[in-house]
Chain A
């Protein structure tokens, strides 16, 4: 079944650790996105990719980095996590630029 997956769903780590949030989709979509969402707040785009080896920063400045080596895989990395990175991170993909985006279940990150 075509879907979009994120792992882990929940992550609690200490300050200074390096982490990678995984996002994979089996829908064959070229365009993928990472959003950051604080509790009770709107989503802010932090990264997007229009295809393999294409990555760009979004509207909200983020210390995270992303890579797109394979079409289906769009991981997000934090080299040194801090409490200010505590948030929910949502991954999405779409087939068409102006069409609806399909979202993964999210990763809730807590940095102590």
Chain B
């Protein structure tokens, strides 16, 4: 069965420092990978996605993630974080199981950016 592991439940970091949120998945087939962000009391917003092609994908607000097939990872990085990046981040993999397609989510990583 496919699964997603987010290795850090919480990541505290100072403003303007770099950050990496780690995500590993298990799958024996081709996958589509996603990072979602959730601000307090809101739904999930798509941050970036890997479907095919270049293994490095970027968002409009400076985040990037690299698909590494050999390490089955899709880590999220940002070279310099802002206070406004404080949120919960979810890694997800698209999977076909039980007769239907679905997204399998990791447990989330809470990014706390301090001044």
Q: Which A residues are closer than 8 A to B by beta carbons?
A: 6, 9, 33, 40-43, 45, 48, 50, 56, 58-59, 90, 92, 97-106, 108
Query: How long is the Cα–Cα vector from A22 to B44 in the complex, in angstroms?
Result: 17
Question: 6 more A-B contacts (CB under 8 A) besides A90-B44, A100-B46?
Answer: A33-B102, A40-B88, A41-B107, A43-B44, A45-B103, A97-B101
Question: Could you jot down 30 A-B contacts, CB within 8 Å?
Answer: A6-B43, A9-B41, A40-B88, A40-B108, A40-B110, A41-B108, A42-B90, A42-B105, A42-B106, A42-B107, A42-B108, A43-B105, A45-B102, A45-B103, A48-B100, A48-B102, A56-B100, A59-B98, A90-B44, A97-B96, A97-B100, A101-B103, A103-B44, A103-B45, A104-B43, A105-B42, A105-B43, A106-B41, A106-B42, A108-B41
Residues of B within 8 A of A42 (CB): 90, 105-108
Query: How long is the Cα–Cα vector from A6 to B43 in the complex, in angstroms?
Result: 10
Q: Do residues B105 and A58 form an inter-chain contact, with CB atoms below 8 A?
A: no
Residues of A within 8 A of B106 (CB): 42
A11 to chain B, nearest CB (A): 13
Query: How long is the Cα–Cα vector from A9 to B40 in the complex, in angstroms?
Result: 13
Given that A42-B90, A43-B90, A48-B102 are known contacts, is A100 also in contact with B45, CB under 8 Å in the complex? no
A41 to chain B, nearest CB (A): 7
Residues of A within 8 A of B110 (CB): 40
Determine whether B78 belongs to the interface, using a CB cutoff of 8 Å to chain A: no
3 residue pairs, one from A and one from B, having the closest CB atoms: A97-B101, A103-B43, A103-B44
Q: Do residues A90 and B46 form an inter-chain contact, with CB atoms below 8 A?
A: no
Query: How long is the Cα–Cα vector from A105 to B44 in the complex, in angstroms?
Result: 7
